[in-house]
Amino acid sequence: MLASPEFRKQMEGYSLTTAEILYRMPDHPALLQSYIWQDYDVAPEFPVLKKFLDFWERTLDGPLFKVTVACRKLIRPAELKAVSGEFRLH
């Protein structure tokens, strides 16, 4: 069985990255529109996101206003928490 492309990217250091892109509406520059972008990328350089934003600026009419990025490694050691009590429901 072959590993999925997403799993292979994670093993190469990529992690799931989400960016909220606020841009101005071309016909109404006083209004902001939100676009959510998500792909596997490498923090903190974010080459995939930068390539997408370069494409946006070259091709699309809506000028960028603000980009907020969130990223978290998906493959990492398990987190364990000590539990001080136990609750049972019947």
One-letter identity of residue 80: L
Could you tell me if residue 19 is inside a domain? yes
Q: What is the pLDDT of residues 35-86, one digit of tens each?
A: 999 999 998 899 999 999 999 999 999 999 999 999 876 556 556 566 677 6
Considering Cα of 36, then 37, then 43, then 44, what sign does the dihedral take?
Answer: negative
Contact 35, 19 (CB under 8 A): no
Q: Are strands 32-41 and 64-72 parallel, antiparallel or unpaired?
A: unpaired
pTM of the entire structure?
Answer: 0.75
Q: 64 lies in which domain range?
A: 5-72
Is residue 77 one of the residues assigned to a domain? no
Domain count, the chain: 1
In a domain, 81, yes or no: no
